[in-house]
Amino acid sequence: MSMKIIVGAQWGDEGKGKIVDLLSEDVDIVARYQGGANAGHTVVVNGKTYILHLIPSGILHPKVTCIIGNGVVLDPQAFIDELSLLESHGIDVRGRIFISHNAHLIMPYHKLIDSLNEQGTSKIGTTGRGIGPAYIDKFARVGIKIVDLLHRDLLVKKIKSNIEDKNLLLSRIYNSSMIDVDEIVDTYLQYDKQLDEFIKDTSLYLNQALKAGKAILAEGAQGAMLDVDFGTYPFVTSSNPTSGGACTGLGVSPTSIGSVIGVAKAYTTRVGNGPFPTELKDSLGETLRKIGGEYGATTGRPRRCGWLDLFSLRYSAMVNGIQEIALTKLDVLDDFDAIKVCVGYKYNNKLLKSFPLDLCTIEDIEPVYESLPGWKENIAGARNYSSLPGKCRSYIEFIEKYLEVPVKIVSVGATREHTIVR
């Protein structure tokens, strides 16, 4: 059996949580491959809304096993809190959620440094969850892994050595107060007891599952345009949300990938700073925010809203190898007389042939729009493609034609029921 990858095709918050939950019906395992508690994946089931930050969105299906892969940076407290929240809703999670022994830990100093960095002049607008500093330590080869929790003496040694370094940085560069070693050591030794039952060699587990014919869904967080290599750098997150990240973030080979599904909103949003060519800074943007409920699931920040950017989406489809699109939040466009889509970028009055990767260019481009007629009808009740208004189908088909990728799932509301599978 092969693995399906679900990627965010834009700047995050495309509705990955809903789509992963939906597709989890037919899989055995859902595995998160990157990011950390910066993600906020919303799943609405039986009138209850769950916002998942670390635990994969398949957890609401009792038969699904969930994996937090080695590519994730794990905040133990955030994991424990999420576990308790799910259990308080009567969801039995024990024995069906595993964390890679190879995943790196988010430490209190990562969150502190993240927030101090954001007080400077070049703000990224991060979620403040310590993501960037944790990945810095991973790649600087000084990070602390989940597996280190199993070896008490080594853990204490690693924490102490890290804190010595961080304290130098905090006092000399950030002019901030220092961190207490003993308190952190005590807290993390406690986490060891709480996390022990969840720790596994998840790469081995996933490869054995693939061999045994199990169906696996790899769940990405964030989105391609926030990818550290392919996104609007430096206004990105510090991992690879693009589909390639699934292999390195889970320890499965490229030959086990069966397909890639891109989740895209019928318009575009972005949280935090950075270029956003189709952003609507006027009342139209506010209308989209209001109808779409566009407030961050993790930080509650208002999301920036704009028209669908097909030019960046085509680039995202290429980089991810997207074979089908799940188009979400189409219902949010119900009331618009005309709906614009960006079909190209102009720079110095010339149409660009490919997506620009240097910030100077992308900040200076002029989006080229096509205007499509709105359908002016409530589509939330539609359950099959043919019952959608003609103009709505034309909108979807315009997207498919431009991207040369079929739209296989259309989402017209937040619940599982609000879905059309073609």
C-alpha to C-alpha distance for 7 and 9, rounded to whole angstroms:
6
CA 236, CA 274: separation in Å to the nearest integer?
A: 8
Distance CA 311, CA 330 (A): 19
Cβ closest to ligand GDP, residue 320 vs residue 411: 411
Binding test (CB under 6 A) with ligand IMO, winner from 5, 9, 13, 66: 13
Using CA atoms, how far residue 95 sits from 149, 234, 252, 302, in Å, is 20, 39, 22, 37
* Residue 118: burial class (beta carbons within 10 Å; 0-12, 13-18, 19+): middle
Q: How far is the CB of 273 from ligand IMO (least distance, A)?
A: 6
- Which one among 31, 226, 228, 261 touches ligand IMO, defined by CB under 6 A? 226
Choosing from 41, 53, 101, 110, the catalytic residue is 41
* C-alpha span between 376 and 188 (Å, rounded): 55
**Comparison of 103 and 226: residue with beta carbon closer to ligand GDP:** 226
41 is catalytic: yes
Q: Where do the DSSP E strands lie in 266-309? A: 268-270, 304-306, 308-309
For 35, what's the count of Cα atoms within 13 Å in the CB-facing half-sphere? 32
Question: 333: which DSSP letter?
Answer: G
For the segment 38-57, give every residue that binds ligand GDP (CB under 6 A). Answer: 40-42, 44
Please state whether beta strands 104-105 and 73-74 pair in parallel, antiparallel, or not at all (unpaired).
Answer: parallel
The entry of ligand GDP, Mg ion, ligand IMO, none that residue 329 binds, CB within 5 to 8 Å by partner kind: ligand GDP
Among 96, 125, 181, 389, binds ligand IMO (CB under 6 A): 125
Nearer to ligand GDP, 179 or 412 (CB): 412
For β-strands 304-306 and 268-270, DSSP reports them as antiparallel
Does residue 367 belong to the site contacting ligand IMO (CB under 6 A)? no
Q: Which is nearer to ligand IMO, 269 or 415 (CB)?
A: 269
Closer residue to Mg ion, CB minimum distance, 11 or 198:
11
Active site residues: 13, 41
Q: Which residues bind ligand GDP (CB under 6 A)?
A: 8, 12-18, 40-42, 44, 293, 297, 328-329, 331-332, 411-414, 418
Q: Which residues bind ligand IMO (CB under 6 A)?
A: 8, 12-13, 38-41, 124-127, 129, 131-132, 221-223, 226, 237-238, 271-272, 297
